[in-house]
């Protein structure tokens, strides 16, 4: 396993594990309900292979994903970097809105520490920017948690360039997590530059385009009836057909390397900078073992040119979220 360094010297495996799909009967159905025993075995196998970076969030489940990860890492905590997120309000276990207040950060960290069964959260994100709370107040509250020893590093998710600049003036920001892949390159418009100006590492979520780039989904019929991706704008009608061209280009490059589509899509991200650490989502050992090999693939100039031509900035058909979701990104 190769390793990389995010901001503030935080060393992590070059490929992390996005734990979000490891949910059963929760609020996110990603390719069918997870087998939680298999999900736990996938986490254990990832650790055996040298993966150190595990990403979860309060909102996943909600709450149950943190609990699963906490159980899985018992007795295995040393050397791991555990990331989680806050930023929403809840009532009776249901999400009621965003809440970036310092008070919510403090209350949330206590709950996350308990569910994860750890004393300190290595990387604590604001999951979505709250437009009603100045980012200075949010980051100030998170910085207090660092002083208290409950958090090692603080981070943001889906923040826009101006927010990143303002946040970095309050406290060092270790990472920004936003969607980035061959089918979503919007962060190349100002966001990556803002991160690099402030020595902030970048953590792409959905690095495989919510599974689309892996090449196993050729129609909506390949998804379970209750899979939330059936409502994803990029999976709809003409958009779906148009976006398959990117998958086919990845497959051509993969064939030259004797690699999987997923490995090539992740290798492309790794080639965009040493400060980039993707966190593909897993719930099974087989997909995890495949993806972590991406760090061993070196794409040459011909490969990168072919992929960039097939998937230029702004070239994917359809918005990455519906209207409500788009109102919560790049703030």
- Tell me whether residue 60 is one of the annotated catalytic residues: yes
**Catalytic member of 60, 180, 205, 235:** 60
The dihedrals phi and psi of 265, each to the nearest 5 degrees, come to -60, -40
Active site residues: 60
């Amino acid at each position: 396993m190769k390793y990389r360094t995010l901001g503030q010297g935080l060393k992590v495996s070059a490929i992390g594990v996005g734990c979000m799909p490891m949910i059963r009967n929760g609020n996110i159905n990603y390719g069918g309900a997870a087998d939680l025993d298999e999900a736990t075995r996938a986490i254990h196998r990832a650790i055996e292979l040298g993966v150190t970076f595990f990403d979860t969030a309060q909102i996943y489940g909600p709450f149950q994903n943190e609990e699963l990860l906490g159980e899985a890492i018992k007795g295995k905590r040393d050397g791991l970097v555990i990331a989680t997120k806050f930023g929403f309000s809840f009532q009776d276990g249901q999400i009621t809105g965003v809440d970036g207040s310092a008070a919510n950060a403090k209350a949330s960290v206590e709950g996350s520490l308990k569910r994860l069964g750890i004393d300190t959260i290595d990387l604590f994100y604001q999951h979505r920017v709250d437009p009603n709370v100045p980012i200075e107040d949010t980051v100030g509250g998170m910085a207090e948690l660092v002083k208290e020893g409950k958090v090692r590093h603080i981070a943001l998710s889906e923040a826009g360039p101006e927010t990143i600049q303002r946040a970095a003036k309050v406290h060092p920001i270790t990472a920004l997590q936003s969607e980035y892949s061959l089918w979503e390159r919007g962060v190349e418009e100002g966001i990556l530059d803002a991160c690099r100006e402030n020595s902030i590492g970048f953590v792409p979520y959905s690095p495989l385009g919510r599974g689309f780039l892996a090449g196993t989904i050729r129609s909506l019929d390949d998804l379970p009836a209750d899979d939330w991706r059936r409502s994803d704008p990029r999976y709809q009608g003409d958009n779906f057909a148009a976006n398959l061209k990117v998958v086919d280009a990845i497959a051509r490059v993969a064939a030259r390397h004797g690699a999987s589509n997923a490995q090539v899509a992740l290798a492309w991200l790794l080639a965009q900078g040493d400060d980039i650490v993707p966190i593909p989502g897993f719930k099974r050992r087989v997909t995890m073992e495949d993806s972590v090999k991406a760090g061993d693939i070196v794409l040459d100039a011909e490969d990168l040119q072919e992929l960039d031509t097939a998937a230029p900035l702004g070239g994917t058909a359809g918005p990455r979220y519906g209207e409500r979701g788009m109102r919560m990104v790049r703030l």
